[in-house]
Each structure stands twice: as structure tokens, then as C-alpha cells.
Amino acid sequence: MNINFQYNGSIKDIMPTIKDYLESQEYDIIHYAPESGFILTDYKLFKLNTGKVFLALSININDLVVVVGMGKYEIVTSGIGNPDDILKMKTVDKLPYRLQKKIFLPIIEALEKRGLKLVKTRR
């Protein structure tokens, strides 16, 4: 999932805003490079009705703020075999749309409240 935002000011102005948001939402920042406009978070657990979803964010700031989500989630595997293999983690490039909505809509709303403007893109 990719989300793009426009912002006012410089990269140095917007980096602390985004960092503060991530920390307020308990994302663990594993790489923070204000000189290059880059932030990388570790996977954060979301417990949704559909099961456990893990999301890490990569944020690149140049002329736009580009938020890229990397996710993995639990899937139930059926079949005969080891009972320990009934529930597995699946790493995906793109989370199902229903999970994207539950996770990314709050991120979009929070960043817009902090002065960023969502750039609508066509699929």
C-alpha cells in the first residue's frame, strides 16, 4: 500500500511531525535519517476481528511524503497434518482491501490533522 501526501515547508520541518505521530501510535522506529528524509518502522501488531496483522512503514520524504506499508497477517490453513500448522503467517506485498481500510484510514486522518494533504491517485 502506497499513500502520498503533499506538505508545506521543508523536509526538516515535516520529519519531526511524522516522527511524533509514529511514536504516539507506538511504532518502533528502527531507522530515522532526517538528512535524507527517511523513516523505517519495525512491524507493529494490530489485533483486528480477522486476526493478527503486522504492519511496518517505510516513509520517504522528498517533494511528497510517500508512506509505504509492508504487511503480514495470519491465515488459517486447512488440511490434514500437524495441528501446529493450522495457523500460519503470510507475508504479502498488499494486504486485502478490508484490512487496508481498517489500518490506513486512521493513519491518513491523523496525518491530515497534522497539516499534510492526501494526494489522490488513480489505480
Phi, psi dihedrals of residue 78, rounded to the nearest 5°: -110, 165
- Evaluated on CA atoms 9, 33, 16, 27, the torsion sign reads positive
Using a 10 angstrom Cβ sphere, with 0-12 exposed, 13-18 middle and 19 or more buried, the burial of residue 76 is exposed
3-state secondary structure at position 105: helix
Here the CATH number for the domain that contains residue 77 is 3.30.530.50
Task: Judge whether 55 lies within some domain.
Answer: yes
pLDDT band at 95 (very low <50, low <70, confident <90, very high): confident
Task: Judge whether 18 lies within some domain.
Answer: yes
Task: Judge whether 81 lies within some domain.
Answer: yes
Q: Which domain holds residue 67?
A: 2-118
Task: Judge whether 89 lies within some domain.
Answer: yes
Task: Judge whether 44 lies within some domain.
Answer: yes
Task: Judge whether 50 lies within some domain.
Answer: yes
State how many domains the chain has: 1
Instruction: Read off the pTM.
Output: 0.80
CB 107 within 8 A of CB 2: no
Asked if the model's pLDDT at residue 123 lies above 70, the reply is: no
Cα separation, 34 vs 41, whole angstroms: 14
Task: Judge whether 109 lies within some domain.
Answer: yes
Task: Judge whether 123 lies within some domain.
Answer: no
pLDDT band at 1 (very low <50, low <70, confident <90, very high): confident
Q: What is the pLDDT of residues 25-72, one digit of tens each?
A: 999 999 999 999 999 999 999 887 767 788 899 999 999 999 998 888
Q: Which long-range contacts (CB under 8 A, 24 or more apart) does 58-62 make?
A: 59/18, 61/7, 61/11, 61/14, 61/15, 61/18, 61/37, 62/11, 62/37
Asked if the model's pLDDT at residue 87 lies above 60, the reply is: no
